[in-house]
Amino acid sequence: MGDNRFLEHNDSLCNHAPCGLLTFRIDGTILHGNKTLLNWLKITQEELTTTTFVSLLDNGGRFYYQLFVLPLLRMHHEVNEISFQIQKEDVNFSCLFSASVFTAGNSKEMQVCAVIYKVVDRKKYEAELLLKKAKSDAERLLSQERLRIVALAQSHLVRAPLANILGLAALLQDMESDKEIKQLTAMLQESAKKLDVEIRKIVDAASDNSQQG
């Protein structure tokens, strides 16, 4: 009684696991798949067992499995989180494939027990992250360009009166006036020149940030 309950529980756990479970011979012939995998592939158990594991993969996946994954299974008896694309008629999804090799009973036949994790949601999440990053980068570039335009516009507004002040100071220096006025004029001229230099630095920094962005 207890054994039956254990078998029923074990069968329920395997069939309703949130991942595809699969066993196949080392030559690729499929022996069994759980209900989750059957639902994903939209086929029956009988249809699944008349095919091979590599036939479930796209062309690139088939080549990669035969060239790299199968030799690893034969030598090390284990692979983890191999990225594959399942492609069969109207079914197409990305997955992560992990598997280990075991010897079946007295036959000593090498079989593969595999787990397939569907990663459609992760792909969507990664695409959303990339879209958000692209949007953020675009907004940052736009903000930098606006800053550059504002800095240039403000610099013209400020530097025009500065030019007038510098010109007026130069005229006053040439005119005959007492020593105190000449000193004040020289101070005004020096301050205006320093302010002009600082404005140039701000404009140049805004332009550099815009180009680097």
Specify the CATH architecture of the domain 133-212. Answer: Orthogonal Bundle (1.10)
What are the structural domain ranges in the chain? Answer: 2-118, 133-212
* Max Cα–Cα distance, the chain, nearest Å: 120
Please give the Cα distance from 78 to 74 (Å, whole number).
Answer: 8
Q: Per DSSP, which regions of the chain are E strands?
A: 20-25, 30-33, 78-88, 91-104, 109-118
Q: Which of 74, 201, 37, 181 is nearest to 66 (CA)?
A: 74
Token digits of residue 172: 């006053």
Do 114 and 24 form a contact (C-beta atoms < 8 A)?
A: yes
- For the domain bounded by 2-118, which CATH number is listed? 3.30.450.20
- DSSP single-letter state for residue 45: H
β partners of residue 22: 33, 114
Q: What is the pLDDT of residue 13?
A: 75
Three-state DSSP at 184 gives: helix
Confidence at 208, pLDDT banded by 50, 70, 90 = low
Token digits of residue 123: 């792909």
Q: How far apart are the first and last CA of the chain?
A: 71
Q: Kindly report the pTM of this predicted structure.
A: 0.57
CA distances from 176 to 114, 169, 181 (A): 99, 13, 10
Q: Which amino acid is at 29?
A: T
Residue 16: CA atoms inside 13 Å, Cβ hemisphere, count?
6
Same topology for domains 2-118 and 133-212, yes or no? no
Token digits of residue 155: 């610099």
Mean pLDDT in the chain?
79
CA distances from 146 to 97, 141, 142, 177 (A): 49, 9, 6, 46
For 33-70, write each residue's pLDDT tens digit.
999 999 999 999 999 999 999 999 999 999 999 999 99
For 76-97, write each residue's pLDDT tens digit.
999 999 999 999 888 999 999 9
Instruction: Provide the total of helices (H) and of strands (E) in the chain, helices listed first.
Output: 7, 5
